[in-house]
Structure 1
Amino acid sequence: MSGREHTGRGEAPREALRLENVGKVHGTDGNRVRALAGVSLRLAAGTFTAVMGPSGSGKSTLLQCAAGLDRPTEGRVFLAGAELAGRSEAALTRFRRERVGFVFQRFNLLPTLTVLQNVLLPAKLAGRRANRAAAADILARVGLGDRLHHLPAELSGGQQQRVAIARALVTAPDVVFADEPTGALDLRSARDVLALLSEAVRVHGRTVVMVTHDPVAASYADRVVFLADGALAGSLDAPTAEAVAERMTRLAAAVERGAAA
């Protein structure tokens, strides 16, 4: 993991992600579901943002559109200054491999590859020379320096998620997208994973965007962005678990009242 890039005095922070009036509609005429409705959002580089909202609010759709995994129906997405629209699927795949890291609730490790081989996989898929020393170093940093040649089945769930984080960070991506990364973990392992994501931001200058339903997980972020019915519904800076839980309770109640109206 490379060090944080510092900007000069008075220089605006680099922009890691920008969404301009992004909308997403699933289905066809007669069976259309609007998952996102005019979402505009800017995230600076070197920040940790949590995305929260009631079930069906559009959290995962937002992440998928922002990461180039899905194409918005309308609006524009810029990642590290590059617009995603207009690229072929092959070009988008190359872009993601070079500029984006992913961490999911399900660890998505290949069971027949060792820990080290799993971390080296993105470079191999991108056609680049695998840097075994860098991969071993990052695995040591996440506490798995003595597990390089173990298979995923020989690790705990928390250890497997740490492998997934190392795999996401080894290429020094512009943005790491994490979709419920602690959802399948026990409390201690979840805290370890969140601490690693925080370290990636604060020490190594990465940008993390995390979808979560857990107020405690969200409290590790610099900012929480709330969604409701596919639209932005406010944000919270320097969040605490208590403040996030209170905001989520109020938001869920408002959505329920709207549905009942």
Structure 2
Amino acid sequence: MDDAVRLDAVSKVYGKGQGAVAALREVTIGIPRGGFTAVMGPSGSGKSTFLHCAAGLDRPTSGSVRLGDIELAGMDETRLTELRRERVGFVFQAFNLVSSLTVLQNITLPLRLAGTRVDRAWLDEVVRRVRLDGRTGHRPAELSGGQQQRVAIARALVTRPEVVFGDEPTGALDMMTARDVLTLLREVVDGLGQTVVMVTHDPLAASYADTVLFLADGRVVDTMSAPTVDSVADRMTRLGAWV
């Protein structure tokens, strides 16, 4: 299976001199296409920096990041912005919906910003997949938290991205609603062949993934296939995350 995202010897250092902080240290890892990968680690382990560098939101201090067959190094900010808009989807803990727009308008916003024609058949498929039929004329304030996050997932899918990156996408949701959203992410991987990379602190969320990457002190220190809630929680405890 080829890689949707590839990091080679990626380091990220914030600050200079004695005040410099290494958030990532020589990380080399491939994220398989068509899989669901969770990224976990203690606070300060580099999870968010890993996601930001992998998604082209932040530039590594050294090393190489590839999105599919595209090398991100050397791209100016305009080209990076276009690349993210065309080939990357994002789902955040805060739903980041525009309150004055309807569900349908929020979902299609990336296409409108890019000046891209809406593929009506694909839009209908995405709306059906996230179970928002009959809600497309509503505004975010008329929806539950789980429904708002499903709008955000639909918005991330509508451009047919190479990868959907999730940054604690269930962090603001209760457990039942979180399970619903995680089931949906699992379905878009299995049913649509989508690649999902999700940063989370929650072993339950990680248990929905195919693979878990564990970070500590800016390095990938372990990987786990076929994770369960208990196996992830045990590994996190041994990382010192919950001591």
- Asked if these proteins are the same fold (TM beyond 0.5), I'd say yes
Distance 2:22 2:43 in 1: 14
1:108 corresponds to: 96
The alignment status of 1:208 with 2:196, answered yes or no, reads: yes
Q: What RMSD, in angstroms, separates the aligned Cα atoms of the two structures?
A: 1.3
* Aligned-residue offset at 1:219: 0.4
The letter for the 2-side match of 1:71 is R
Q: Does 1:239 align with 2:212?
A: no
1:122 match: secondary structure: helix
- Offset at 1:43? 1.6
1:47 maps to 2:24: no
Distance 1:140 1:232 in 2: 37
Asked whether the equivalents of residues 103 and 178 of structure 1 are also in contact (C-alpha less than 8 Å), the reply is yes
Checking the alignment, whether the CA contact within 8 Å between 1:25 and 1:34 is kept in structure 2 is yes
Shift of 1:137: 3.0
Match status 1:143 vs 2:131: yes
Q: In the aligned structure 2, how far is the partner of 1:133 from the partner of 1:45?
A: 24
Q: Percent identity at matched positions? A: 63
The 1:166/1:129 distance shift into structure 2, 3 A limit, reads same
- 1:93 and 2:81 matched: yes
The match for 1:222 is 210
Cross-structure match for 2:107:
119
Instruction: Establish whether residue 31 from structure 1 lines up as the match of residue 19 from structure 2.
Output: yes
Q: Give the C-alpha shift of residue 210 in structure 1.
A: 0.3
1:164-175 aligned at under 5 Å gives the runs 164-175=152-163
* Matched letter for residue 164 of structure 2: V
Structure 2 stretches of 5 or more lacking a match?
none
Q: Displacement of 1:132 after TM fit?
A: 4.3
SS where residue 198 of structure 1 aligns? helix
2:184 is aligned with 1:185: no
- Aligned to 2:18, what secondary structure does the other structure show? coil
State TM-score, norm by structure 2: 0.97
The residue that corresponds to 2:237 in the other structure is 249
- Asked if structure 2 preserves the Cα contact closer than 8 Å seen for 1:140 and 1:146, the reply is no
Structure 2 residue matching 1:106: 3-state secondary structure: coil
Query: For each residue in 1:93-149, what CA deviation from the matched residue of structure 2 results, as whole angstroms up to 9, or x when unmatched?
Result: 101111100000000000110000000001111111123453233112211111001
Aligned residues: 243
State the alpha-carbon separation in 1 of the partners of residues 85 and 25 from structure 2.
Answer: 28
Gaps in structure 1 of 5+ consecutive residues? 1-12, 257-261
TM-score by length of 1: 0.90
Name the CA distance, whole Å, in 2 between partners of 1:14 and 1:34: 29
Q: Which stretch shifts more, 29-38 or 114-123?
A: 29-38
